Structure 1
Amino acid sequence: MSIKLIASDLDGTLLTDCKELSPKTREVLDLAVQHGIYIVPATGRSFHSIPEMIRNYPGVEYVITANGGAVYSVREGKRVYQCLLEKESVEAAIAVRKRENMVLEVVIDGVPYAEEAYVKDPMQYLATEYGAKYIKATRKPVKDICRFAQKHAEELDSISFVCRYEDKERLYTSLDKEIPNIYVTSSVPNLMEVGHIDAGKGKTLLWLLKKLEISTEEAMAFGDADNDISMLTSVKYGMAMGNGTENCRKAAPYVTDTNEKDGVAKGILRFLSEAE
């Protein structure tokens, strides 16, 4: 088969709404692995927030995390690539946080930290019921997030602002204008995510393809959100989920079924047969 690597977002893409792998998806992933195809989770999550069943899945040797901020070798249990925020960018982000008085999250070496009040009661900040459980289980609470971010300004993988839906467009403009050397994206409606300008799932996937000596013609990618667009447009077989955002579906070369209807599995089977 000419397909050698399949990269996939997790939430809303590879995983069902219950955050599971469907039986059909498992079956097709196993088929791909049997043919020697790399399976690469590519997520906005930090490394330690990725479900163990995904990190330890047969065929998963590399994981793209923090929206392209880092790549981990599962076998070696360490980072093999990173693209950290610059100190100047972090300081500018802190200034925005103080002015806007929004909740801030930061990721250091694959570990997410967030403001104490937010971790204690995420639903007050527009988190869904699942989101609240996820936040409580994965975020390390910090009393003074601005001081913490300043102290670790040269170590941050990424920064996220928790915002109201109605503030999102305005905040995007502010972040893009006021913070140097960054890219801004979003994986969920109430989050604006900030990474280094040279990060992003697309650029980092290209780095990994080069490392593995795989061409973009031999790669697939799946995603459902705006933060997946660069990845879907960087390879030949880029597929947006049927449940994806409008921007994602319009930008992707192809659209497959939803995450609840085995969209990833259907896309793999369709394009593997075409690629043979």
Structure 2
Amino acid sequence: MAVKLIASDLDGTLLTNKKELSPRTREALDLAAAQGIYLVPATGRSFGSVPEMIREYPGVEYLITANGGAVYSVSEKKRIYQCLMTPESVEVAIAVRKREKMVMEVVVDGVPYAEEAYVRDPIRYLATEYGARYIKATRTPVKDIIEFAAQHAKELDSISFVCSHEDRNRLYTSLEKEIPDIYVTSSVSNLLEMGHKDAGKGKTLLWLLDKLGISPEEAMAFGDADNDSSMLEAVKYGIAMGNATENCKKSAACVTGTNEEDGVAEAILSHIKCEI
């Protein structure tokens, strides 16, 4: 079957390490859009953190954000789907934050909020230089994140814990058992991300495919991290990047080049040429 929709993660996948779209990637995306293929960014980022060049790219009508917690329509300029965390799960997550004393981020209606000290000095919390700039540019600082999360317990798209690689590995599986109605994933080594158990990129992508009348056999998806695994498993053409985690590669039908090697572009162009 011809591919009718291409979903792609952003960081480490569609974007270069400099967080840019390479000329080769633009060529592939433009060719796909010209053939009427839906281009769907699918990211762990909140809506407010998605670069403008992605939100406004020709052919992008829908965006999957917050690891599947929400879907936005570009033309309608609004959220058309959401799968919010339950107040009960937020309450237990707050208890974990108090116990573990990790930095906590929350997303409300597409806007990310984080603890004031973390936003002021992200490098102190293991952020890279790019990560520090990104955090300062996108996070709204909150003096008391625990109180803020409790006040917005019925409105949270997701919660993230900023932690060491060791703490992430220790808590990765235990949190899903401890906190009700959530799934736990990770896009980078110092981040644990939580959403509603019925969210996740894979389930939300299937919702969007059903809305558009497209079968999973007519869809292609790209990713590089654990939070992309369910999306790659959901469609026929699930493609992991050469720089992907082992879990992501195991979930994929095949592996392409790295994000620095224009892996997404090469896979798209190769597929389209086979269809012509």
**TM-score bin (small chain):** over 0.9
Say which SS state the counterpart of residue 18 (structure 1) adopts: coil
Matched, 1:221 2:256: no
Say which SS state the counterpart of residue 180 (structure 1) adopts: coil
1:70 is aligned to 70
Structure-2 separation of matches of 1:260 and 1:74: 28
1:60 Cα deviation after fit: 0.1
Structure-2 separation of matches of 1:173 and 1:183: 9
1:247 Cα deviation after fit: 1.1
Q: Contact 2:14 / 2:264 at 8 angstroms: preserved in 1?
A: yes
Structure-1 separation of matches of 2:189 and 2:134: 16
Structure-1 separation of matches of 2:22 and 2:79: 29
Identity of aligned residues (%): 76
TM-score by length of 2: 0.98
2:32 is aligned to 32
1:167 Cα deviation after fit: 1.1
**Aligned residue identity for 2:249:** R
Structure-2 separation of matches of 1:257 and 1:119: 34
Structure-1 separation of matches of 2:38 and 2:177: 38
Matched, 1:57 2:45: no
Structure-1 separation of matches of 2:257 and 2:165: 26
TM-score by length of 1: 0.98
2:2 is aligned to 2
Q: What is the number of equivalent residue pairs in this alignment? A: 276
Structure-1 separation of matches of 2:272 and 2:204: 23
2:254 is aligned to 254
Structure-1 separation of matches of 2:168 and 2:250: 20
Cα deviation digits, residues 3-46 of structure 1 (max 9, x gap) = 11000000000000000000000011000000000000000000
**Aligned residue identity for 1:102:** M
1:272 Cα deviation after fit: 2.4
**Aligned residue identity for 1:80:** I
Matched, 1:168 2:168: yes
1:193 is aligned to 193
Structure-2 separation of matches of 1:273 and 1:216: 20
1:96 Cα deviation after fit: 0.1
Q: Contact 1:3 / 1:275 at 8 angstroms: preserved in 2?
A: no
Cα deviation digits, residues 93-118 of structure 1 (max 9, x gap) = 00000000000000000000000000
1:177 Cα deviation after fit: 1.7
Gaps of 5+ in 1: none
1:275 Cα deviation after fit: 4.5
Q: Contact 1:222 / 1:238 at 8 angstroms: preserved in 2?
A: yes
Matched, 1:271 2:259: no
**Aligned residue identity for 1:135:** I
Structure-2 separation of matches of 1:43 and 1:203: 13
1:125-164 aligned at under 5 Å gives the runs 125-164=125-164
Say which SS state the counterpart of residue 158 (structure 2) adopts: strand
1:174 Cα deviation after fit: 3.1
Say which SS state the counterpart of residue 172 (structure 2) adopts: helix
Q: Contact 2:173 / 2:184 at 8 angstroms: preserved in 1?
A: no
Say which SS state the counterpart of residue 233 (structure 1) adopts: helix
**Aligned residue identity for 2:109:** D
**Aligned residue identity for 2:198:** D
1:119 Cα deviation after fit: 0.2
Say which SS state the counterpart of residue 273 (structure 2) adopts: helix
1:274 Cα deviation after fit: 3.6
Over the aligned positions, Cα root-mean-square deviation in angstroms equals 0.9
Structure-1 separation of matches of 2:271 and 2:247: 23
Cα deviation digits, residues 140-175 of structure 1 (max 9, x gap) = 000110000000000000000001011112122331
1:65-144 aligned at under 5 Å gives the runs 65-144=65-144
